Amino acid sequence: MPKPFLVLVLFMITCAITYAQNDREGKQRDSSIIIFSESPRPGKSAKKHTAGDNNIIKIAPLGFLKGSIPIYYERRIADFFSIQAGVGVTTRNYIRGVTHNALGTNDENNDNLEYTWKDGYTGDNYNDEDELFDFTYRTAKPGYMISLQPRIYFTSDAPDGGFLAVSFDSYKYNFESKKLTGDGSSTRGKNTIKEYEKLNDIMVLFGAQWLYDRITVEYTTGIGLRSIKGEKYATAYDNNNKYIDGMATYKKSTLNFELSIKVGFHF
């Protein structure tokens, strides 16, 4: 499991334990004070958070499956409205790799690729390059993600309950690929070259968030548009069966589906 994710989990647990200890000590100091309050009406549960709890820090425990290790901050702005922002590190995107291979998506079709061959080569060539999510000679490197998400809650109890949101998300995934040795064979050497893929999403999301004693649980699902742009290392062989290399750029727009779970700490 990635170390940054473990650090975030430990941070959340530490915050929860610290608060619980302080809260218990405060109750012991004030044990001589008796406060009478109105009991909730039958059929209506008591609020799980106080009026001052307008902030939430949260993580996505399953985010690593899509190569994202984020941390989010949500702030209540008004009774029905909040804004969530997030930043994080990107790694290998397992979900995109699986869907790419299973569905046979065309991000890398020759129709979408523009090649720039080394030394200005322009003759006939025959494609023999790695698929983008083939990690035989490729290694994932750290990238980044940013997110901005305004939310409208269905009741005047933000950030607790069901909500509708528009999410703007940007991901950059970085890679390094081993290069050909340059002797005309398909042998890879020790030298590497950088590659990248950028994903920009605009999503409409429906979700719900529950606030418990300092802990929050949230799920979201939705649909939107995704813009894909990238550059990868390309290899091919010519009429003389000599291997050549270069770079290939690609871009595409497609539909995107979202399903996520987050846990957090509210204060």
pLDDT tens digits, one per residue of 20-53: 445 444 444 444 444 444 444 444 444 455 556 7
pLDDT of residue 122: 74
> Strand, helix or coil at 146?
strand
Q: What is the dihedral of CA 158, 216, 262, 165, to 10 degrees?
A: -10
Q: How far apart are CA 194 and CA 242, in angstroms?
A: 23
- The number of domains in the chain is 1
pTM above 0.85, yes or no: no
Residue 99 has pLDDT above 60, yes or no: yes
Average pLDDT value for residue range 243-254: 91
Average pLDDT value for residue range 216-228: 96
Q: How far apart are CA 6 and CA 10, in angstroms?
A: 6
- 171-216 pLDDT tens trace: 999 999 999 998 989 899 999 999 999 999 999 999 999 999 999 9
Question: Is there a cis peptide before residue 159, judged by omega within 30 degrees of 0?
Answer: yes
**Pick the residue with more confidence: 1 or 113?**
113
Q: Who contacts 215 (Cβ-Cβ below 8 Å, separation ≥6)?
A: 16, 263, 264, 265, 266
Contact between 69 and 6 (Cβ < 8 Å):
no
Q: How far apart are CA 217 and CA 263, in angstroms?
A: 5
pLDDT of residue 208: 96
DSSP code, position 47: P
**Pick the residue with more confidence: 97 or 243?**
243
Average pLDDT value for residue range 211-224: 95
Domain membership of residue 225 as a residue range: 3-266
Indicate the residue type of 47: K
pLDDT of residue 130: 74
Residue 267 has pLDDT above 90, yes or no: yes
Q: Quick one: CA dihedral 154, 157, 158, 161, positive or negative?
A: negative
Parallel, antiparallel or unpaired: strands 161-180 and 125-127: unpaired
Q: How far apart are CA 211 and CA 159, in angstroms?
A: 8
Query: Which band of pLDDT confidence, cut at 50, 70 and 90, is reported for residue 77?
Result: very high
pLDDT of residue 261: 96
Q: How far apart are CA 7 and CA 137, in angstroms?
A: 30
Q: How far apart are CA 219 and CA 118, in angstroms?
A: 48
Contact between 85 and 169 (Cβ < 8 Å):
no
Mean pLDDT, rounded, of the chain: 81
Percent of the chain with pLDDT over 90: 55
Residue 10 has pLDDT above 60, yes or no: no
pLDDT of residue 102: 56
Q: 96 φ, ψ to 5°?
A: -65, -35
Token pair 């129709």 in the structure block, residue: 111
- Range among 47-61, 99-113, 137-151 rated most confident: 137-151
